[in-house]
Structure 1
Amino acid sequence: MTISADDLSFVLDREQIRDVLARLARGEDRRDADLISGAYWPDATDDHGIFRGTFKEYLAWVVPGAPSIPVTLHTLGQTLIDVTGDTAVAETHVTSYHRIDFGEQEHDVVIGGRYVDRLEKRDGEWRIAHRTMLYDWFRDFGQSVDWSQGVMGTPFLADHYVGSANGDHSVTLFQQKSD
């Protein structure tokens, strides 16, 4: 079997697009402006149904996050990618977890949906030009578990096992790698 330069280019484009999507999900979970900015073109637009605007407006909305949502986790599923030259469309399944403080108590909420992205390759780099969020299902699991007690009745051995939007063990690990 002979692999052509076009075949390799196609595979590399698709992998670069997948990397953009993964970095964006991580950036949103960590509220990391640099990671999010590296996934969108500055002139991009975003439509999350509950937010619609320019990339600059989206970044100002998503990075601080709501104080009532201390933890999020976006898990990406399969992605269908259609590349045509320097443009692409992608549909990625997402399951997003949110811990939401309703004042009296925190709830664990999960949303299932799809990101529908239009991407552009500029100067050899893929980024999102426009994103639309499609919502397929929603589930409020009620009152959140108290993580200070550990998992299933067994206490954690150290403080770093519970995730948070900022400064958890994952952020520390990646910072050590770049230092």
Structure 2
Amino acid sequence: MSDNNEQQLLQQLEDKQALRELGTLFARAADRADRSLLASLFADGAQVSDGGFSGPASEFVGVCVAPAGLERSFHSVSNEFYQVDGDTARGELYVITVSTWNKDGAKTDTLIGGRYLDEYRKVGGAWKIARRTFVHEWNMSFPTTTVWDEGLFGMIKLRGTRGQDDPSYTLFGEKA
């Protein structure tokens, strides 16, 4: 293999890894309600079509981090497929989201499965989301069965939170 081919292969691998990290950071930012992190993942002028929202990513960020009644969410991204072409790329990421919603004291757990169909652009050497479209595949909703203070679950005191009080911010030295 020539040096040029090796460099191209290495660049493609680096780009695809950076795109995977971008998808993971999106899940982290959404689940932690981290407005600044979420905003940093989108290119200027990016567009989002995510079910009930269709418009500029700059507006989507506010909708995503502060929906009324959302107590917790957990995004899991998998089955990532990317095509890179220089400083642009396309990707399909499968996503499952588990959320707990509180409406007037009635709590509902919701599971949603779908895919993100993304277009990416490299900006200043960093990959950003230029367009994101959510494709809904399935969902389930039911009254919450969450148990926080009984048995094994009562012994587990370290819990995730929406916001920078989440333990991951301390781990990565990001606590404000």
Q: Deviations over 1:116-165 (max 9, x none)?
A: 1000112221100000000000011322323133xxx32533632x2221
Contact 2:100-2:108 at 8 Å conserved across structures: yes
Residue 120 of structure 2 aligns with which residue? 119
Residue 97 of structure 1 aligns with which residue? 98
Name the TM-score, length of structure 1 as normaliser.
Answer: 0.88
Give the SS at the match of 2:154: coil
Residue 139 of structure 1 aligns with which residue? 140
Residue 18 of structure 1 aligns with which residue? 20
Q: Deviations over 1:7-46 (max 9, x none)?
A: 0000001011111111111001001122212211121111
Give the SS at the match of 1:137: strand
Distance 1:158 1:72 in 2: 18
Distance 1:164 1:53 in 2: 28
Q: Which residues of structure 1 form unaligned runs of 5+?
A: none
Distance 2:154 2:169 in 1: 19
Give the SS at the match of 1:146: coil
RMSD of equivalent CA atoms: 2.0
Percent of aligned positions with the same letter in both sequences? 28
Counterparts of 1:56-67 in structure 2, within 5 Å, are 56-63=58-65, 65-67=66-68
Residue 175 of structure 1 aligns with which residue? 173
Q: Which residues of structure 2 form unaligned runs of 5+?
A: none
Distance 2:146 2:74 in 1: 16
1:29 maps onto 2:41 in alignment: no
Contact 2:43-2:128 at 8 Å conserved across structures: yes
Letter of the 2:142 partner, please give it. F
Q: Residue 108 of structure 1: CA displacement?
A: 1.2
Name the TM-score, length of structure 2 as normaliser.
Answer: 0.89
Contact 1:75-1:94 at 8 Å conserved across structures: yes
Q: Residue 49 of structure 1: CA displacement?
A: 1.6
